[in-house]
Amino acid sequence: MDPVKDSARAIAREVNARAVSATEVAERLIPHVERVDGQLGAYLQLTPDLMRAHARRVDERVAAGERLPLAGVPVALKDNMCLTGTRTTAGSKILENFVAPYTATAVQRLLDAGALPIGKTNLDEFAMGSSGENSAFGATRNPYDLDRVPGGSSAGSAASVGGFTATLSLGSDTGGSIREPAAFCNVVGFKPTYGRVSRYGLIAFASSLDQIGPFARTVEDAALAYDVIAGKDPLDATSVDREVEATAGDLRDDLRGVRVGIVKEFGLGELDAASRACYEAAYADLERLGAELVEVALPTAKYGLATYYLIAPAECSSNLARFDGVRYGLRVDGSDVGEMYERTRAAGFGAEVKRRILIGTYALSSGYYDAYYLKAQKARTRIAEDFARAFERCDVIAAPAAASPAFRFNAKNDPVTMYLMDYYTIPGSLAGLPSLSVPCGAAVPEDGTRSMPMGLQLTSPLFTERALLGVAHAYERATMHAEKLTPPETCNT
């Protein structure tokens, strides 16, 4: 057994069978991560003592006869999720020294299921970004090419699993922040239906869109984590009180009879040649595996970006109003309380966060609310209706997870160019749909010579996680794309 390379499922099986102890897993992982994370920068903070303490507890529970779905599985947590007693920064200077006084529900559920916390992962500040470059605490590198970004905003959560410094991780997805980095880092990234996973203890960005989900190296492992974290939480009023169907261990292996929608408006013509070829091959593979490809229309999808860049900033400007230097976080003194607020926020927030606060404040300000925010909420309705119509004709929709493979650092300095990376993921987010990215091969970037991972995005109707994971699993098992790439150096123990 190899705790660095093995799947979560395999680790849990061995630990539950007492063939290996959780403590042994922790003692193998900790020096490995300490040795290689300097190259990746996936972690903002490692928590070896906490990992060992949890390992001891798991070993005691297993010895007492308990069987735990994630017994001894090393997990990484995006640093916008609270974990009692650990620094939780959201990648922002304004929270540089914030120590969480409580634990997020999704994190607690993982720990209760036997997972071992390795550390907190880097992210774009307050989860705003598509490359990880907006973190106040330095760059995370793509495990498949250290000169390229890992994607964002869940940069370190994708890079750690892709770079074999975590078996599973949690990320959060508001407009694509799980799916895009998953595609860039050759891993599975799964955003469940909005409301499936509690947001309690997740530092809010855009509350009507934010959703926690897992990263894993296989669909099966993502399903295993999803089964643990999903479900109603009395501490999050927006978490949905609806039965969660178990998914892991019983996912389908074939695509016979599955209708896969290909979105007419998401033509691949605007992609670079290598990306286009990769997605064309992926669609052909789906058909070869027995799926029926159906063309579907999402005529309002092209308004997704505009809709998103009103709604998300509006919600962020409201959510981030709490960072005022009074109760926690950075404070910069001023001559009066107003000046203290302004200086604190000026010093604590980075450029992208400031931009979004400004856009959101403007969109919500007197005289513009109807033209912008309300208009966007109506557009959102139309986008969701388009999806509902499309799903009358298909079971899942296949699309690119990102417009290109991972790009180089500083390649997208213009904000709107960066926003366009999420063109394919945003419409599904606005509709609250479950959606994932599964490795679908590799493409040579236009500005490079080395093949980089690509991800196929699959999206399904509200609350059909089981069916969605099943399609992804069948595709993954038949193609095994993730394993065809030469593993990154950081997997060598």
Partner 1 sequence: MPSDRIDIRHVARLARLALTNEEIATFGPQLGDLMAHVDDLAQLDTQDVAATAQVVPSRNVQRADGLRPETMVSHDAALANAPQRQGPFFRVPRIIAEEG
Considering only residues 252 to 311 of the shown chain, the ones binding partner 1 according to CB under 8 A are 300, 302-303, 305-307, 309-310
Q: How far is the CB of 354 from partner 1 (least distance, A)?
A: 6
421 touches partner 1 (CB under 8 A) = no
Give the pairing of strands 259-263 and 292-296: parallel
Counting every residue, how long is the chain?
493
Cα separation, 106 vs 152, whole angstroms? 20
Our answer to whether residue 78 is catalytic in this structure is yes
Task: Please count the residues of this chain forming the interface with partner 1, following the rule CB under 8 A.
Answer: 76
331 touches partner 1 (CB under 8 A) = yes
15 touches partner 1 (CB under 8 A) = no
- Nearer to partner 1 among residue 97 and residue 492 (C-beta): 97
Give the pairing of strands 211-216 and 292-296: unpaired
DSSP of 220-242: HHHHHHHHHHBS--TT-TTS--S
DSSP state of 328: S
Q: How far is the CB of 329 from partner 1 (least distance, A)?
A: 7
Q: How far is the CB of 281 from partner 1 (least distance, A)?
A: 31
Task: Identify the residue among 152, 162, 231, 329 touching partner 1 (CB under 8 A).
Answer: 329
Of the listed 92, 130, 135, 153, which one is catalytic? 153
- Nearer to partner 1 among residue 349 and residue 391 (C-beta): 349
DSSP state of 171: E
- Nearer to partner 1 among residue 160 and residue 317 (C-beta): 317
Task: Identify the residue among 30, 359, 390, 468 touching partner 1 (CB under 8 A).
Answer: 359
CA distances from 265 to 84, 420, 430 (A): 45, 15, 17
Task: Identify the residue among 109, 380, 412, 473 touching partner 1 (CB under 8 A).
Answer: 380
Q: How far is the CB of 415 from partner 1 (least distance, A)?
A: 5
Of the listed 21, 78, 169, 451, which one is catalytic? 78
Cα separation, 358 vs 113, whole angstroms? 41
Q: Are 303 and 268 in contact (CB under 8 A)?
A: no
- Nearer to partner 1 among residue 56 and residue 354 (C-beta): 354
Q: Are 205 and 174 in contact (CB under 8 A)?
A: yes
Cα separation, 420 vs 432, whole angstroms? 19
Residues 431-470 that bind partner 1 (CB under 8 A): 431-432, 462
Long-range Cβ pairs for the range 384-389 (8 Å, 24+):
384/430, 384/431, 384/432, 386/297, 386/298, 386/299, 386/300, 386/301, 387/298, 387/427, 387/428, 387/431, 387/433, 387/459, 387/461, 388/461, 389/297
The span of 170-178, 244-252, 255-263, 408-416 binding partner 1 (CB under 8 A) equals 408-416
415 touches partner 1 (CB under 8 A) = yes
Our answer to whether residue 153 is catalytic in this structure is yes
Tokens of 329: 């976080």
322 touches partner 1 (CB under 8 A) = no
Tokens of 72: 């001894």
Cα separation, 458 vs 473, whole angstroms? 11
- Nearer to partner 1 among residue 63 and residue 326 (C-beta): 326
190 touches partner 1 (CB under 8 A) = no
19 touches partner 1 (CB under 8 A) = no
| DSSP-H helix ranges across 103-218 | 105-112, 155-162, 179-184
416 touches partner 1 (CB under 8 A) = yes
388 touches partner 1 (CB under 8 A) = no
Q: Are 254 and 292 in contact (CB under 8 A)?
A: no
330 touches partner 1 (CB under 8 A) = yes
238 touches partner 1 (CB under 8 A) = yes
Cα separation, 444 vs 105, whole angstroms? 40
- Nearer to partner 1 among residue 286 and residue 301 (C-beta): 301
Q: How far is the CB of 409 from partner 1 (least distance, A)?
A: 20
Task: Identify the residue among 49, 64, 338, 449 touching partner 1 (CB under 8 A).
Answer: 338
Residues 85-124 that bind partner 1 (CB under 8 A): 97-99, 101-102
Cα separation, 321 vs 341, whole angstroms? 10
365 touches partner 1 (CB under 8 A) = yes
Q: How far is the CB of 356 from partner 1 (least distance, A)?
A: 10
243 touches partner 1 (CB under 8 A) = no
Cα separation, 279 vs 27, whole angstroms? 41
Residues with Cβ within 8 Å of residue 58, at least 6 apart in sequence = 15, 22, 68, 71, 72, 114, 116
Residues 196-235 that bind partner 1 (CB under 8 A): 208, 234-235
Of the listed 154, 177, 404, 429, which one is catalytic? 177
Q: Are 401 and 455 in contact (CB under 8 A)?
A: yes
Specify the 3-state DSSP secondary structure of 403.
coil
CA distances from 228 to 213, 232, 248 (A): 11, 12, 10
Q: Are 258 and 291 in contact (CB under 8 A)?
A: yes
126 touches partner 1 (CB under 8 A) = no
336 touches partner 1 (CB under 8 A) = yes
Q: How far is the CB of 430 from partner 1 (least distance, A)?
A: 8
- Measured in degrees and rounded to the nearest 5, phi and psi for residue 121 equal -105, 155
Q: How far is the CB of 227 from partner 1 (least distance, A)?
A: 19
Q: Which residues are catalytic?
A: 78, 153, 177
